[in-house]
DNA sequence: CTGAAAGCGCTAACAT
DNA sequence: ATGTTAGCGCTTTCAG
């Protein structure tokens, strides 16, 4: 009992080595699956590992490998407000629907991104660190976090165009991949959707079912995706003989969709089709239409965009343009891991094709 | 140019020390805000830091402090399926709505938890690592992750009762706090809601507006919260002279809410009030009611639970029992950080009171 | 194929 | 108040 069995502190490589009667180096090799280890010794080491209940210390390993084996998943917001973020503490002031994080997660979109990222990361033994970057201070923190080596790279999802984060990251020489093409070119890989094609699909569907007086509720026009969906819809309509399409700008929220629909209905009471740039707004539009006595799709056909959970929360369920968010998020993750493995690899972009999902609303 | 300015590798404490003409220790003190440092030197060090562009290396620091300054946020699933998780890779197979992660984030509840956790953590310079633990293998990984010191503790949100994770964590002597009381007692702190009180509020409201033939769509009965909400509703009704209340069990999903409402309507066509154990099910119920020509709240009053985003996605907006999820999540986080600061502190629980939110559906 | 030894960058006694 | 000195636990040349 007086032997050197040290304090119960978690066992280290040293302990395992002693138990197995080999050197630390050998244990390390076995654990990391490096070849050139005598099978007999390998077995002995494994025994020792399970007897001692050894678990490698991540910090020690990271210190020498210079890899954190973690990636940051950052939701990056507007670039405007300088220091707006300092949300009141946690406990009391929560539930505050106006906080950036709360707003972000109110949109089913982000849950899908998380799903895709996690599904790709997990089989590889990695997990995302969730960060938000809606103020310049928060952005600095993200950069610092990466520079500290707390994460090997970043998956960035911007909610607004002109997001300065991608550029900051690129300048700092840090690894990152974006969800959606940045407003101004930055040497960083990204995944994106062929938004215009999606909008074209919606337009053609509306046209195909006979709508002749369609309008659209666009997304925020300072967001590339919002812009592209509008352009795609307008262009297609124009090409089919409808050069003028009423449009009201929304903010991708249900509420803004309701407001937009009210205006559209007031100004164009005879419309027979609506394309909303996302499902949340389409849902809002449906509510307003019904309140005004218009049946969907009988009087007015409605097409959404995204195929998010909101599409099924709607009655009738929304006909919508599917954006394969989970797949895109997984691909984004794959690109990042690739980049980490080959830092000099090329900057690439992967564009996904949308798909029309026909349900009840149009 | 032949001096020892080493390769451009990120600067270390050593570099800063040299630049400032002091020792590593002093720089460390300044950086960590340890007092007893000459103001003049402090300034010099700060200069040197910004000149060199120094950022402390997290791994090195963690190695000696034995703190990761990170916490895991783990969503823990059923305890049944042994090895069910191995989801197909990322890229292709995604969008698979049946994956655990996808299901989890389809519920607005989790976004709110994330919001609360992040809001509390951020001002403290910490970020959550997102993990899922729906299989025994995944649970092992979570335990290993914590034992490795990759995170200092875990915030656990179980989707099912009988979740073995809390016990595993406790046995391993790891720090954790739970969202919701575990089915079987485990020496771990938790936050929870007074579910029965919430259900009582719902019952009284229905009674107050004159409903005499109410039914309820319960949550899964193997979940304590599901059980408690049912009990609370039934007891209150019984106390007011309604000893028999029709109940159909749901699964907290919109779909199950629809199915349950169909059954209820078939068996009790004359009902005038429904209490659904969460908003998603209430939303489904409203849809079905309308399809059957029943107006809400005119013919049938509907009360939900949670006050999630689904409550506002419904027309009319749902009268519901508010569960302050963000605040609860923040408190859970506070408890964990407390525990980390004082490992011998007592195991505690904090129970939040629900609140009735009256909107259009009842 | 295995062991010895040298750090990775930082903090924390312990001197001074 | 500052500097010196040990390591934290691990991987990785480099010898053998």
Q: Which two tokens stand for residue A39?
A: 């099978």
pLDDT score of B245: 97
pLDDT score of B78: 61
Continuous segment of H or E residues that includes residue A44: helix A39-52
* Same-domain check for residues A102 and A31: no
* Same-domain check for residues B176 and B222: no
**B95, B108, B141 ranked by CB distance to A327: nearest:** B95
* Same-domain check for residues B106 and B154: yes
pLDDT score of A8: 54
**B70, B144, B327 ranked by CB distance to A55: nearest:** B144
pTM for the model stands at 0.90
Predicted confidence (pLDDT) at residue B153 exceeds the cutoff of 70: yes
User: Does residue A300 form part of some domain?
Assistant: yes
* Same-domain check for residues B202 and B315: yes
* Same-domain check for residues B228 and B344: no
- How sure is the predictor about B83, in pLDDT bands with cuts at 50, 70 and 90? very low
CATH number (domain holding residue A142): 3.40.50.2300
Q: Do residues A86 and A48 lie in contact, with contact meaning Cβ atoms separated by under 8 Å?
A: no
CATH number (domain holding residue B41): 1.10.260.40
Q: pLDDT tens digits for A67-121?
A: 999 999 999 876 434 333 333 333 333 344 457 887 788 788 899 999 999 999 9
Test A59 with B56 for CB contact under 8 angstroms. Answer: no
Predicted confidence (pLDDT) at residue B124 exceeds the cutoff of 80: yes
Work out how many CB contacts closer than 8 A connect A with B. Answer: 207
Q: pLDDT tens digits for A204-221?
A: 999 999 999 999 999 999
Spanning CA of B186 to C1' of C11, the rounded length in angstroms is 36
Predicted confidence (pLDDT) at residue B231 exceeds the cutoff of 80: yes
Q: pLDDT tens digits for B3-38?
A: 344 445 789 999 999 999 999 999 999 999 887 888
* Same-domain check for residues B273 and B331: no
Spanning CA of B35 to C1' of D4, the rounded length in angstroms is 19
pLDDT score of B90: 36
* Same-domain check for residues B256 and B179: no
User: Does residue B247 form part of some domain?
Assistant: yes
User: Does residue B90 form part of some domain?
Assistant: no
Residues of A in contact with B131 (CB under 8 A): 127
* Same-domain check for residues A201 and A106: no
Q: Which domain holds residue A165?
A: 70-81+96-192+325-352
Q: Which of B10, B90, B146 should we substitute to test contact with A (largest number of A Cβ atoms within 10 Å)? A: B90
* Same-domain check for residues A304 and A329: no
Spell out the alpha helix ranges (H) of chain B: 13-20, 24-31, 39-52, 58-65, 100-106, 108-121, 136-147, 165-171, 195-208, 224-239, 254-267, 279-291, 310-313, 325-341
User: Does residue B5 form part of some domain?
Assistant: no
Nearest CA in chain A to B101: A115
Spanning CA of A146 to C1' of C2, the rounded length in angstroms is 37
Spanning CA of B231 to C1' of C11, the rounded length in angstroms is 55
Predicted confidence (pLDDT) at residue B336 exceeds the cutoff of 90: yes
* Same-domain check for residues B340 and B299: no
Percent of chain B past pLDDT 70, that is, above it, reads: 92
Residue B83 class from Cβ within 10 Å (0-12 exposed, 13-18 middle, 19+ buried)? exposed
| Residues forming beta bridges with residue A218, ordered by sequence position | A249
How many alpha carbons fall within 13 Å on the CB side of residue B103?
A: 14
Percent of chain B past pLDDT 90, that is, above it, reads: 80
Mean pLDDT of A126-147: 94
pLDDT score of A223: 87
User: Does residue A136 form part of some domain?
Assistant: yes
pLDDT score of B107: 81
User: Does residue B62 form part of some domain?
Assistant: no
User: Does residue B86 form part of some domain?
Assistant: no
Q: How far, in Å, are A130, A137, A335, B122, B151 from residue A141 at the CA level?
A: 13, 6, 23, 10, 19
Buried b (16+ CB within 10 A) or exposed e, A57-78: bbbbbbbeeeebbbbbbbbbbb
pLDDT score of B280: 95
Mean pLDDT of B270-292: 97
* Same-domain check for residues A167 and A255: no
User: Does residue A87 form part of some domain?
Assistant: no
Count: domains in chain A? 3
Spell out the alpha helix ranges (H) of A195-343: 195-208, 224-239, 254-267, 279-291, 310-313, 325-341
At residue B175, φ and ψ (nearest 5 deg) are -85, 135
Test A130 with B127 for CB contact under 8 angstroms. Answer: yes
Distance from CA of A243 to the nearest CA of B (A): 34
* Same-domain check for residues A227 and A275: yes
Mean pLDDT of A134-153: 94
A61: the nucleotide nearest its CA (via C1') is D10
């Amino acid at each position: 009992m007086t032997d050197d069995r040290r304090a119960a502190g978690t066992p280290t490589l040293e302990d395992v080595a002693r138990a197995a009667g080999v050197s630390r180096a050998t244990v390390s090799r076995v654990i990391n699956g490096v070849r050139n280890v005598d099978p007999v010794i390998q077995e002995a080491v494994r025994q020792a590992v399970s007897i001692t209940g050894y678990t490698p210390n991540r910090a020690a390993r990271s210190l020498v490998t210079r890899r954190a084996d973690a990636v940051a998943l950052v939701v990056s917001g507007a670039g405007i407000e300088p220091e707006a973020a300092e949300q009141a503490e946690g406990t009391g002031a929560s539930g505050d629907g106006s906080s950036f994080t709360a707003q972000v997660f109110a949109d089913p979109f982000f849950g899908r991104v998380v799903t895709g990222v996690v599904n790709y990361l997990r089989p590889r033994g990695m997990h995302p660190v969730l960060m938000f970057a809606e103020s310049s201070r928060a952005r600095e923190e993200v950069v610092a976090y990466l520079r500290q080596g707390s994460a090997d790279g970043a998956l960035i999802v911007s909610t607004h165009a002109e997001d300065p984060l991608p550029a900051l990251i690129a300048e700092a020489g840090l690894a990152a991949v974006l969800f959606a093409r940045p407003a101004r070119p930055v040497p960083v890989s990204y995944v994106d959707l062929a938004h215009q094609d999606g909008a074209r699909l919606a337009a053609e569907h509306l046209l195909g079912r006979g709508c002749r007086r369609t309008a659209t509720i666009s997304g925020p026009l300072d967001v590339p995706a919002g812009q592209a969906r509008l352009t795609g819809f307008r262009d297609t309509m124009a090409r089919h003989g409808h050069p003028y399409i009423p449009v009201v700008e929304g903010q991708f929220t249900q509420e803004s969709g309701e407001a937009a629909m009210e205006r559209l209905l007031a100004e164009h009471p005879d419309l027979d089709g609506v394309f909303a740039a996302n499902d949340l707004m389409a849902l809002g539009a449906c509510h307003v239409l019904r309140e005004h006595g218009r049946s969907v799709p009988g009087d007015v056909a409605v097409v959404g965009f995204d195929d998010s959970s909101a599409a099924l929360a709607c009655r009738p369920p929304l006909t919508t343009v599917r954006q394969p968010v989970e797949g895109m998020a997984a691909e984004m993750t794959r690109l990042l891991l690739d980049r980490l493995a080959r830092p000099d690899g090329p900057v690439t972009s992967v564009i996904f094709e949308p798909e029309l999902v026909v349900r009840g609303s149009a």
